[in-house]
């Protein structure tokens, strides 16, 4: 692969870093991303190392923080108990409807 193709490939693969620029609103994530891109372009870091660094940066920035199984089980228990209460309420209302229909039927017989 010649130098021109390598440069074009690097520009294509790391074009995302150019869009951030050096504006005053640059975030810490953007700064770190641009530093990785600059290191790859200058040859201080290989492309696979750059890819790994970008992936690690993205995971640290955008991955969910942590998962608390205790909190999940608590929420699940509350949901299940709520559904059980709703089912009981429907059953009570259903029995009332049946009794009301029966009473209405008896009244219509008189």
Q: Where are the domains of the chain?
A: 3-62, 67-110
What is the CA angle 102-107-109, rounded to 5? 100
Pick from 33, 3, 39: which is nearest to 18 by CA? Answer: 33
Please state, in angstroms and rounded to a whole number, the distance separating the CA atoms of residues 47 and 40: 6
* Torsion sign, CA atoms 58, 51, 27, 15: negative
pLDDT attached to residue 20? 47
Q: pLDDT tens across 35-65, in order? A: 999 999 998 989 999 899 988 888 888 777 6
What is the CA angle 44-15-58, rounded to 5? 75
Pick from 1-5, 7-11, 12-16, 84-88 the range whose average pLDDT is largest.
Answer: 84-88
Confidence of residue 10 (pLDDT cuts 50, 70, 90): low
pLDDT attached to residue 110? 75
């Amino acid at each position: 692969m010649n130098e021109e193709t390598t440069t074009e490939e690097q520009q294509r693969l790391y074009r995302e870093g150019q869009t951030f620029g050096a504006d005053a609103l640059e975030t810490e994530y953007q700064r770190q991303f641009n530093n990785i891109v600059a290191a790859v372009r200058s040859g201080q870091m290989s492309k696979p190392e750059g890819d790994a660094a970008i992936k690690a940066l993205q995971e640290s920035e955008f991955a969910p923080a942590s998962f608390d199984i205790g909190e999940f089980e608590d929420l699940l228990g509350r949901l299940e108990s709520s559904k059980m209460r709703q089912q009981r309420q429907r059953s009570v209302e259903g029995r009332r409807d049946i009794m009301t229909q029966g009473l209405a039927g008896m009244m219509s017989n008189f």
